[in-house]
Amino acid sequence: MPSQKPRITLRLDQDDIDYLEVWAKEEFLTIPQLTRVVVKKAIAEHRKNKDKKDEKQ
C-alpha cells in the first residue's frame, strides 16, 4: 500500500546527487532513505537549538 505521507521534490546538482549515492551505499540505504535521515536529524538539531534559545529569553 502506498504511503499517505506528504511528498516533496528536492532538486540538487549532479555532484550532490553523486555524493549522496556513494554515502547511501556506505550506509546500506537508498538515497531517499538517507535524505530522510539527514533531514530528520537536521530538524531535531534545529528544534534543540531553538528550545535552548527560547529558554534563555
Measured distance CA(42)–CA(46) in Å, rounded: 6
Tell me the mean pLDDT in the region 9-15.
96
Alpha helices in the chain (DSSP H): 14-26, 31-56
Of 29, 34, 43, nearest to 12 by C-alpha is 34
Q: How far apart are CA 53 and CA 29, in angstroms?
A: 34
pLDDT of residue 1: 75
User: Of residues 3 and 42, which shows the higher confidence score?
Assistant: 42
The 10s digit of each residue's pLDDT in 26-49 is 999 999 999 999 999 999 999 999
Which has more pLDDT, 9 or 50?
Answer: 9
Q: In 3D, which of 1, 53, 57, 3 has the Cα closest to residue 33?
A: 3
pLDDT at 4 > cutoff 80: yes
Say what the pTM is: 0.80
